[in-house]
């Protein structure tokens, strides 16, 4: 029985120790739980900030990509402006050369037309002079024919008188 009494005594002692440890654990657990409850709002706030940070980072990344696209588009447009400016300068030079050539051609045509006009006026005068000469020659021929006819008539008349 002594063993039994020693065992019970030791069992009670161990039970008391276990109960004390359990009580201490419960108290510690309550303190940890209370401490954790203090940190829950901060952790929830932290989680909210982390989610907001991820959303903002995503938005930042999208905006950064869009800004890069816009910068490339702007550069492309600036390059196009430079290219078109060069094309306009080249086109202007080509058009100026064409205008100068056409002006030279027009001066040549004007000189040729002036020459043709002068030739036409001279030809017109020559035609008029030729017509006047033809008219004079026709009158001379008519006068000659009239004179010849008169001579023939006189000759014929004088022949008829002599007979």
pLDDT in tens, 73-126: 999 999 999 999 889 999 999 999 999 999 999 999 999 999 999 999 999 999
For residues 38 and 23, give the distance between their C-alpha atoms in angstroms, rounded to a whole number: 22
Q: What are the φ and ψ backbone dihedral angles of 100, each rounded to 5 degrees? A: -60, -40
DSSP per position, 49-81? HHHHHHHHHHHHHHHHHHHHHHHHHHHHHHHHH
The reported pLDDT for the residue numbered 6 is 67
User: Averaged over 24-41, what is the pLDDT?
Assistant: 78
Residue 9 has pLDDT above 80, yes or no: no
Nearest one of 132, 88, 21 to 140, comparing CA atoms = 132
Q: What angle do CA 70, 76, 78 make, to 5 degrees?
A: 105
The pTM score is: 0.42
For residues 96 and 98, give the distance between their C-alpha atoms in angstroms, rounded to a whole number: 5
Residue 151 has pLDDT above 70, yes or no: yes
Q: Name, of 15-24, 33-42, 59-68, 142-151, the range with top average pLDDT.
A: 59-68
- Averaged pLDDT of the chain: 87
């Amino acid at each position: 029985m002594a063993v039994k009494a020693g065992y019970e005594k030791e069992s009670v002692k161990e039970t008391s120790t276990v109960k004390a440890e359990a009580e201490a654990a419960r108290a510690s657990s309550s303190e940890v739980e209370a401490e954790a409850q203090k940190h829950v709002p901060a952790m929830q706030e932290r989680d909210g900030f982390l989610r907001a940070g991820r959303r903002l980072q995503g938005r930042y990344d999208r905006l950064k990509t869009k800004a890069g696209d816009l910068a490339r588009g702007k550069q492309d447009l600036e390059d196009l402006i430079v290219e078109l400016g060069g094309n306009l300068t080249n086109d202007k030079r080509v058009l100026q050369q064409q205008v100068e050539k056409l002006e030279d051609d027009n001066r040549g045509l004007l000189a040729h037309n002036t020459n043709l006009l002068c030739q036409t006026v001279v030809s017109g005068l020559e035609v008029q002079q030729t017509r006047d000469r033809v008219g004079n020659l026709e009158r001379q021929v008519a006068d000659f024919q009239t004179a010849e006819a008169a001579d023939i008539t006189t000759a014929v008349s004088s022949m008829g008188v002599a007979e």
